[in-house]
Each structure stands twice: as C-alpha cells, then as structure tokens.
Amino acid sequence: MKYEPQKLEAKWSAYWERQGLFKATEDPSKEKYYLLEMFPYPSGKIHMGHVRNYTIGDVVARYKRMCGKNVLHPMGWDAFGMPAENAAIENNSHPAQWTYGNIEAMKVQLRRMGFSYDWDRELATCDPEYYRWEQLIFLKMYEKGLAYKKRTHVNWCEKCQSVLANEQVENGCCWRHTDQEVTIKEMDSWFLKITDYAEEILDYCDKLPGWPERVLSMQRNWIGKSYGAIIRFLLVDSGEVIEVFTTRQDTVYGATFLCFAPEHPMVKEMVKGLPKEKEVLEFIDRTLKMDSYMRTAEFTAKEGVFTGRYCLNPVTDEKIPIFVANFVLFDYGTGAIMAVPTHDQRDFEFAKKYDLKLRVVIKPPDRDLHEDEMTEAYVDEGILVNSGPFDGQRNLGALDSIAEFLESKGSGYKTTNLRLRDWGISRQRYWGTPIPIIICDKCGTVPVPEEDLPVVLPLDLDMRPNGGSPLPFEPSFYETTCPKCRGKARRETDTMDTFVESSWYFDRYACPDYDQGPLDSERVDYWMPVDQYIGGIEHAILHLLYSRFYTRVMRDFGHLKVSEPFTNLLTQGMVCKETQECPEHGYLYPYEVKDGRCVQCQAEIITGNTVKMSKSKRNVVDPEDLIERYGADTVRMFCLFASPPEKDLEWNDQGVEGSYRFLNRVWRVVVDHIDDTTKVTAYGGKEALSDRLKALHRKTHQTIKKVTDDIENRFHFNTAISAVMELVNEISQFMNEMVEKDETAWSVVREAVETAVVLLSPVVPHIAEELWYMLGHDKSLLTIPWPVYREEALEAEKILVVLQVNGKVRNRIEVPSSYSQNEIETEALADERVQRFISGKPVKKVIVVKNKLVNVVV
RNA sequence: GCCUGGGUGGCGGAAUUGGUAGACGCAAGGGACUUAAAAUCCCUCGGAGCUAAGUCUCUGUACGAGUUCGAUUCUCGUCCCAGGCACCA
C-alpha cells in the first residue's frame, strides 16, 4: 500500500469537520486553553508566512486538546483595508465582493492544510454585525473623552490618500508603501487617548513574563518615558509663561537661549507686528514644507531664526533670546526647549552658528572647562559650577534638589514625559468602519445616537478612479439630520484605522453571535485572556500595543475583566528564500529557472541573498503547489522541522523532499508489519523483556518525555520531530535485525509504532490519523490522551560514564547503574586508558558526577 | 549613539541546571539491489597529523582574557551580524 497524501488528507479533514471535533464550548468544569494566531488579511491566497504561523498554532492546539484542555482555536478575517479598494478599481468590482470572494478562497486553503479551527466562530471585521460594536465603543470613548477630534499636524501618505498614525510611519515612509515619504498636513483628525493608559501599559511590561524581551523592550522604547522637569520662563514685556520640558534641569543655570518648534502657536503671537515677523513666518513656512523625515533627520543642519523677543532665565534672571528652530519637535514635551549650548551638542552647534552665549555649568571632575576653548558640548557627568547654591555638587546628584528649588520659586516642577502620542485613527478611506459622528453647523460635533447604530458603510456606490474615498462624494451617505437640533447635518466621512478592528477581535471570538452588546461577559470571562498568541514580529508595536490599550478601555467599560489580552506571545520568524535574478529579465520566480538558467533567454541566473519571501522579489513558493505535490502534512512538517519557530525559516526545496521521505518512512514502518502488530496489544510494561526489547521500550518512553517537554515548555518542534525520527530509525533498525518474533516482541514494537504515530499527530495529523486507524483504532487521535512516559521504563541497568583526565575525555565505560560513587571511582581509576594518561603522576583530586562522568585531576 | 537579540561543520540546526560539541535532517562521496534508472537500504562525512591497524594524537563553538577539576553554556573586554529607537531636550 502506498502513501497517498492527497487522498487520505481529504478523507480525514472531512471526517474531523463531520464529527465537529474542533468545536469549542464553554465548560467551566474543564480547564480552558485559548490559542490564537493573528488573523489574516483576506488577500485571496495564503502564503508561506501564514502556513508557518498557523501550523505552529495548530500543533499547540492539537497538543493541548490531547492533554485534556478545553481548547478555543478560532479563525477570522481582518477584512477592512485598502487593497480591497485598489482591487475593486482594477477589476471594476466592489471591495465587499472582492473581500468575501477572497475569504471563501482562503478558507478552502486553510481547510486543506488541516488546521483545527472552530469555524463556527469565524468573523469578518467588515461585517456590520462586527463593526457596529466598535462604533458603540467609540461613542463611549467619545463620551469619556477617550476619543476626540483635533486639528493638528498629521502624517499623510499620498499613496494611501490618507492620514497615518505615528506607529505606521517607518523611517519617514509609509509602513505599507515603504518608498512613499510621509508628509505633514494640518487637518482635523480623530484620536484615541492611548496616552491615558501609557503608564499602566508601561508598568505591565514588567508583568508579562510570557512575552519575548525584545517585543517588550520595543514597546517600552516606543512609549519612551523620561524623567525631568517643566521649567517656566517669563516672556519679557508680556509676563506670559513659556514652559519647557527638560531632563537636564541640572543645567538650567547654563540655559542661554530658548527655542520653539516652528509649529508652536505662541510663536506667531509673539512676533505679531514686530519687524522680525516676516522673517520668522517665512522660516516657519519653509521648515514645515519639508517632509518630516528630512526635517528631523540627524544629518539635517540645525537652523533657526531669532524672534526678536526675550525671556528670563528663572534662576539667573538673565534676559535670554528666543529662537524658532527646525530641530525642536512640536509634539514632544511642550514644543519648546531651553538651550544649554555648553552641555548639549545640538544646542552647541546652534549657538556656534548664531554666535550665542555659552556658559559652563558642569566641569569635568579632573580639569577646568572654558567656554572659548570648547569645540563640542561637555555631556558627561561632573561638578556644578556657576550654579549659585548648587556649586560644588555632583550634577546628577543635584537633579532632584534643583527641581525642588524651582518648585519652591514657582518656576517649575518635577515631572515625566512620554514620547508616545495619542493614536490617530482617522482614515480618509472608504473600506473601513465609519466613525459614528455627525457634524452640525449649529451643534458642532454630535455623536450618532446608540439606537441608530450601526452606521452602515453603503455598498452600492462607485469607487473613485483616482483612489480616494467615495464617501465624501456620496450624499446618500453623508446627508443626514442632526440628532440634537433636527437640522441638516453632515456625517463624518473618515473611517477608522483597521487596527481598531484587530484590537478586540480576540474578545469577540468568545461570543461571535452575541447581539446584546459587544461582548457577552460570561463567555468572555471564561475564555480571556488568550493563553498563547502567535504571530509575526512586525506587529511588535502596532497591533500589540493598540490591543493592550483597547483591552484596558473595554475593561474599564465593564466588558471584560482582564487587563492584558495575551498571556504568552510567540513571535515567529519570517519565511525566507534566496532571490534569483536574470541579467535580462530581473527577478525570477522559481519556476522561471531551469538548471540555473533563465527559461526565457537561457542566461545564467545570479543567486542573491536569502531574504523574506515577497512577490516583489519573486522568491516565493506557493503553498498550493507544494500541497498538490507532497500533501499538507509534508508542508506542515517542513515548516516546523527546518528551524525553531522564533527564528527565520530558510526555505529549502530539498528539505521539503526530506520531510516527505520521512513520512514515507513512517508509513512503511507501520504498514510493512501491520499484520503482526495488529495481532497483539501495545506493550503495557508488565512482561519481562530481553535487553534488546528493553532498549526499544526505553527509547519509546524517552521519546515521549523529550517530545512532551519540547512542545510543552519550549515550542521547539524541530527537536521534537528529531526525537521521533530517532525513534523511527530505531524501530526500523530493530525490525531489520529482529530475532525474537514472539508476541511480547511484537507488542513492544506496537507500542513503539503507536507512540511515534501519536507523538507525530499534532504535526502531521492526516497521516497519523490514517495510520492510527490502520492500527485498528476507531476513535480519532484528537480524542485520545497525550501519552505519559513511565519513569521505570527509562531506567537502565547499565550507565555510560565518561572518563576524563584533567578535563579531557579519555574513555567511556559502562557500569551497572547500582554502582555507588566509590565503586564508579574505583572502576575509573582502574581503567587502562585512564592509567595511561595519569602515567604515574600523583592523583590530586577525583570528581565523580553520579551517572555521568569521572574526572581525574593529576 | 542607546536598547534587544544573535555569532557552532559545506548548509538548516542540536547540546534544557557548567559535565561526551556537532543529535536530527539536507547536501556531498562510496557501496548494495536493478538490464538500467528511480525508489530503498548500508557506510563515510569539523579541521590537521600519525599509523600495519585506531579503543590513536592534537586542535576546534567570532576573538582575547578570567572563574572552574571541567566553559558552546558563567564573568569582563573586543569584533561582527540582525532588529528596534534616535536632533526626544
């Protein structure tokens, strides 16, 4: 009988579905386990990244189920987003049609992979039954001031035709269009007040031991809390207060000028009617026209303009000039800084350029420092000088007392500052959740009344050929009446960032059919938090930070009890492959290359670096082709075997071949002796065994131990698979040389074979199920308990002991396991090879590690 | 510059608490079976050296020190790679 994966895989996945084996029901008497993989954007086809991500998850889900846990393993669709709009324009169809069609296609593929999802809980975020609750939460947030509209400077991506959140800008470019520079626009935008929760989110970074350190450190970094002070400077001839944030209040005596960010509204006020006004306004204009990346890049020269105004340094009472400078950020701190050219490199460069005053206030411990000799700022620790009552103190030691001194004078206070900004969620897009707000000329911004939800995205409109959102051009959508005054009003035509949908979908899986509110607390409280979340590292900040925020908002609204949505996080590596390039035809798909040559022009191809699989580099492998050729089990197995999950996976066609070979080997090891093994029951540890049988029995149980440990504690499926490979090798070797052919022998073989099949079943469920059935079982592997190793089976009569002389391995001997330390030592010292290396020298010391090694020191 | 990872054969990777470095697989080479091929099975496989034969010797986990009877593993320093943050006051 041949291994025919296509046939048996179809059979078993149909069987699982029919039996409803993946259905999860709330059962308080059982321990729950919520396993979740990041849901996909329905692009229409799964790619290897999905396959890897979902295979990892599926192994854990199946394993936990066999361990007796009540497993929730859902799947759904992150279904809003721009590609749908673009595709619709291209194909002259509708985003909804395109999206739902893709969902169907991808679902077929996921089913084909044999993933154990409870499809009854499937959800698509573009479904009004989903986003209506998101709109409701938005209204509640609006009510509480957690959602607000602000006219401000925002990131604009020309290709998205939309605003982006700060998190969605990478190196000054759009995260989706990495070649599109983001520009700054001033416009009305909706924000969610993530900063209100920043402290809590930051604190909890220390309470997430199940998260990878690098993700936590990226989040801490992004929140960017720093400790310092607000210091007040009085504007001369006005008495207005200018506040600056600094972490270096120890240098306040050296602050010899002040700089404003060009966006700062106070600047225009300050220069109004002054001779400098025109020059200042021109500078502001010029600076703001630059894209944000260029303006704030380190290599951009520091530039500024004097405003003509002065303020008073609160500790020296000195009149110091006020500048507008390009390097000062409006949305960090207060948008204005005190400049201490002697102890800050940026300020130093600025001061040199505009010939501004320098005053040293920190001197190195070992020498003096003179302003006119300085070629760069002195930024190290030192002793305070020219600092009034603080002279002679160590600068870092005086941070607190200077802050208190400022506070006592009413000139400032100690505080902290965050880098994190509120989450901008307005998108000038069509295919997203409408923001449930009405704008009335008379009443202003008015929330849509709850009973009018959902504000449904109209489906019967034409996409605009230039790619912009059709909503602002669709009177049937935007024309409405004001809920307050009943007058004519206009709907908000911005939609929400799609990251809002993905910030709570995991909660909704607990109760996808609930229609009384966003969440059914009883079910959500049973399932949440997610015990294990698995997804790509690219969401380290974006999705994972937003979700931690949104969960807390939902908690404070009483929808759920947890603060953290994901107890354990596994960030799997990328799937990579080398690129292949033809000098003539550019990057080639694997099928465009034959024997190292381009199929079109026969030119020799250039093999490039191994990089993340992407269509643009054409270094992709289509999972569908592989399934067709080898079956889903082989694909699953290779994804797990090639490397541990958190590392990048280097695609290797020969490796896939190897996995396929192994499955064939397993197949033969079972099928070739099926008549003999099905005549007996699996060995249960009772009958006495010969040494040879004992060895196989021991290997069987060692493998159970190893595989369990690898999956349970480390998610190291590669080593788990290796262990089963060893067992299978040992079984086939045993059968080759099999001398005993009695019932006991076959029952030990049967135990070994069944164990291999069961241990492999989470990884390659289809073939495992088929072999299990052939071994005479009639219940699915999904319903049988995960095997437990027997301690006594691991014990051996003889133990291998390594003999070292001066730490170098000189021999290996077998001793009875009953030997005491002394007996082992005696045996070791008597060993001929050990004696040779001692060569008569006096033995200084003998170290005996029980059951492991003896080291003789001479 | 700061923060996090990481550096082991030709390759992917093992070595879990400091105790046999290179499990398992891929590639390569040799052999068996076959008319032949495929498939399968067996053997070799870090480097260098020595031998009639190896139960042989030396060396080896980026580099340099250190702790230890013993270090891929712990400590310090250096170099390199990847990712994140960065004119953040």
Q: What is the pLDDT of residues A762-796, one digit of tens each?
A: 999 999 999 999 999 999 999 999 999 998 888 88
Question: For residue A747, what are the CA distances in angstroms to A267, A778, A793, A850?
Answer: 88, 19, 15, 33
Give burial (CB, 10 Å; 0-12/13-18/19+) of A646. middle
| Mean pLDDT, rounded, for A398-404 | 92
Query: What was the pLDDT predicted at A607?
Result: 81
Which token pair is A464? Answer: 């605009």
Task: Give the largest CA-CA distance in chain A.
Answer: 108
Quickly list DSSP for A537-594.
GGGTTHHHHHHHHHHHHHHHTTS-S-S-SEEEEEEE--EEEEEEEETTTEE--GGGEE
| Mean pLDDT, rounded, for A677-683 | 92
Query: What was the pLDDT predicted at A540?
Result: 84
Element (H, E) at A815: strand A808-816
SS (H, E, C) A431-478: CCCECCEEEECCCEEEECCHHHCCCCCCCCCCCCCCCCCCHHHCHHHH
Residues A684, A687, A691: CA angle, nearest 5 degrees? 105
Nucleotide nearest residue A294, measured CA to C1': B87
A718 touches strand B (CB under 7 A): yes
| Mean pLDDT, rounded, for A623-629 | 94
Kindly state the DSSP code that residue A712 receives in the 8-state scheme: I
User: Rounded CA gap, A818 and A837, in Å?
Assistant: 27
Residue A785: is the preceding peptide bond cis (ω within 30°)?
Answer: no
Nucleotide nearest residue A801, measured CA to C1': B20
A800 touches strand B (CB under 7 A): yes
Q: How far apart are the first and last CA of chain A?
A: 62
**Window A312-351, strand B contacts by Cβ < 7 Å:** 326-329, 332-333, 335, 337-338, 344, 346
| Mean pLDDT, rounded, for A843-856 | 87
Query: What was the pLDDT predicted at A291?
Result: 67
- CA nearest neighbour of A709 among A67, A53, A52: A67
CA A800 → C1' B57, Å? 24
Give burial (CB, 10 Å; 0-12/13-18/19+) of A785. exposed
Please, what sign has the CA dihedral across residues A841, A844, A849, A850? positive
CA A661 → C1' B35, Å? 27
Query: What was the pLDDT predicted at A463?
Result: 82
SS3 (DSSP) at A713: helix
ipTM comes to 0.94
CA A711 → C1' B33, Å? 40
pTM (predicted TM-score): 0.93
Nucleotide nearest residue A668, measured CA to C1': B40
CA A654 → C1' B42, Å? 22
**A488-491 and A593-594 as β-strands: parallel, antiparallel, unpaired?**
unpaired
| Mean pLDDT, rounded, for A358-378 | 89
The answer to whether A638 touches A655, Cβ cutoff 8 Å, is: yes
Kindly provide the b/e burial profile for residues A142-166, where b requires at least 16 CB atoms within 10 angstroms of the residue's own CB. Answer: beeebbebeebbbbbbeebbbbbbb
Provide the pLDDT confidence category of residue A358 given band limits of 50, 70 and 90: very high
Please, what sign has the CA dihedral across residues A706, A711, A716, A720? positive
CA A299 → C1' B29, Å? 56
CA A384 to chain centre: 45
User: Rounded CA gap, A552 and A780, in Å?
Assistant: 41
Whole-number CA gyration radius for chain A: 34
User: Rounded CA gap, A187 and A489, in Å?
Assistant: 20
Residues A11, A12, A15: CA angle, nearest 5 degrees? 95
CA A721 → C1' B5, Å? 25
Residue A212: is the preceding peptide bond cis (ω within 30°)?
Answer: no
Provide the pLDDT confidence category of residue A440 given band limits of 50, 70 and 90: very high
SS3 (DSSP) at A68: coil
User: Rounded CA gap, A247 and A343, in Å?
Assistant: 12
A542 touches strand B (CB under 7 A): no
Report which of residues A376 and A22 the model is more confident about: A22
Which token pair is A675? Answer: 């008549």
pLDDT above 70 for A292: no
**Window A164-193, strand B contacts by Cβ < 7 Å:** 170-171
The answer to whether A847 touches A804, Cβ cutoff 8 Å, is: no
The answer to whether A191 touches A424, Cβ cutoff 8 Å, is: yes
Residues paired with residue A575 on neighbouring β-strands, in sequence order: A649
User: Rounded CA gap, A145 and A141, in Å?
Assistant: 6
Q: What's the pLDDT tens digit per position in A206-230?
A: 889 899 888 998 899 899 999 999 9
**Window A502-541, strand B contacts by Cβ < 7 Å:** 537, 540-541
Nucleotide nearest residue A800, measured CA to C1': B20
Query: What was the pLDDT predicted at A633?
Result: 97
CA A65 → C1' B24, Å? 27
Place of tokens 């045993």: A734
**Window A402-461, strand B contacts by Cβ < 7 Å:** 417, 419
| Mean pLDDT, rounded, for A635-653 | 93
Which token pair is A501? Answer: 């949908």
**Window A614-643, strand B contacts by Cβ < 7 Å:** 641-643
Kindly provide the b/e burial profile for residues A171-201, where b requires at least 16 CB atoms within 10 angstroms of the residue's own CB. Answer: ebbbbeeeeebbbbeeeebbbbbbbbbbeeb
Provide the pLDDT confidence category of residue A814 given band limits of 50, 70 and 90: confident
Provide the pLDDT confidence category of residue A90 given band limits of 50, 70 and 90: confident
**What are the φ/ψ torsions at residue A845 (nearest 5 degrees)?**
-160, 145
Place of tokens 């399932």: A527
Provide the pLDDT confidence category of residue A605 given band limits of 50, 70 and 90: confident
Nucleotide nearest residue A420, measured CA to C1': B88
Element (H, E) at A708: helix A691-709
CB count, 10 Å around CB of A402?
27
**Backbone dihedral region of A516: left (phi > 0), alpha (psi from -120 to 50 degrees) or beta?**
alpha
CA A827 → C1' B59, Å? 29
Protein-covered nucleotides of chain B (CB closer than 7 Å) are 3-5, 11-16, 19-21, 23-27, 39-42, 55, 57-58, 69-71, 83-89
User: Rounded CA gap, A358 and A350, in Å?
Assistant: 11
| Mean pLDDT, rounded, for A403-423 | 93
Place of tokens 């996080």: A569
Provide the pLDDT confidence category of residue A461 given band limits of 50, 70 and 90: confident
Nucleotide nearest residue A228, measured CA to C1': B89
Residues A241, A247, A250: CA angle, nearest 5 degrees? 85
The answer to whether A158 touches A180, Cβ cutoff 8 Å, is: yes
pLDDT above 70 for A293: no
CA A815 → C1' B69, Å? 22
Give burial (CB, 10 Å; 0-12/13-18/19+) of A128. middle
pLDDT above 80 for A466: no
Q: What single-letter amino acid sits at A14?
A: A
Q: What percent of chain A has pLDDT over 90?
A: 66
CB count, 10 Å around CB of A355?
6
SS3 (DSSP) at A646: coil
CA A201 → C1' B84, Å? 18
Query: What was the pLDDT predicted at A180?
Result: 80
pLDDT above 70 for A279: yes
User: Rounded CA gap, A382 and A360, in Å?
Assistant: 11
CA A477 → C1' B46, Å? 71
| Mean pLDDT, rounded, for A652-662 | 94
Report which of residues A447 and A92 the model is more confident about: A447
Please, what sign has the CA dihedral across residues A606, A610, A615, A621? positive
Place of tokens 């997804």: A535
Which token pair is A300? Answer: 């951009």
CA A616 → C1' B63, Å? 39
Least confident of A251-255, A447-451, A668-672, A836-840: A836-840
Provide the pLDDT confidence category of residue A662 given band limits of 50, 70 and 90: very high
Q: What's the pLDDT tens digit per position in A489-534?
A: 999 999 999 999 999 999 999 999 999 999 999 999 999 999 999 9
A734 touches strand B (CB under 7 A): no
Instruction: For residue A716, give every residue at least 6 positions away whose Cβ sits within 8 Å of its Cβ, in sequence order, or none.
Output: A644, A645, A710
Report which of residues A821 and A529 the model is more confident about: A529
Provide the pLDDT confidence category of residue A539 given band limits of 50, 70 and 90: confident
Query: What was the pLDDT predicted at A816?
Result: 86
Provide the pLDDT confidence category of residue A449 given band limits of 50, 70 and 90: very high
Nucleotide nearest residue A806, measured CA to C1': B69
pLDDT above 90 for A39: yes
